């Protein structure tokens, strides 16, 4: 097992983590921006107004993308487990 191989596996893991979290973070960012824009226009300064819509939207995105997330994680894990014999050589 070389240093290049370890760096490659770490790079793939970080890329997978970013790719998996991107839809939920993006929707949370978009909903937060839209609510803050609404608050600025209407001059409603309620702190709890942003919390519930963001949580609901992020949970919905996670629920809708969970099959894709699970398949990506299973593919990465399967590939990682398949390469274990070549790691110990």
Contact 56, 28 (CB under 8 A): no
Look at residue 12 in the predicted model and tell me its pLDDT: 94
DSSP 3-state of 53: helix
In tens, the pLDDT along 72-81 reads: 999 999 999 9
Give the confidence band of 4 by pLDDT, cuts at 50, 70, 90. confident
| Confidence (pLDDT) at 73 | 96
Residues 36 and 65: their CA atoms lie apart, in Å, by 26
The 10s digit of each residue's pLDDT in 33-68 is 999 899 889 888 877 788 899 999 999 999 999 999
Question: What does the pLDDT read at residue 50?
Answer: 82
Q: Counting every residue, how long is the chain?
A: 89
pLDDT computed for residue 89 by the predictor: 66
């Amino acid at each position: 097992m070389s240093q290049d191989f370890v760096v490659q596996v770490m790079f793939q893991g970080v890329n997978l983590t970013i790719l998996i979290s991107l839809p939920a973070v993006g929707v949370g960012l978009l909903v937060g921006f839209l609510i803050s824009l609404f608050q600025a226009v209407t001059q409603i300064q309620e702190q709890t107004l942003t919390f519930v819509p963001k949580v609901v939207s992020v949970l919905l995105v996670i629920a809708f993308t969970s099959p894709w997330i699970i398949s990506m994680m299973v593919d990465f894990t399967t590939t990682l487990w398949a390469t274990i014999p070549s790691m110990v050589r």
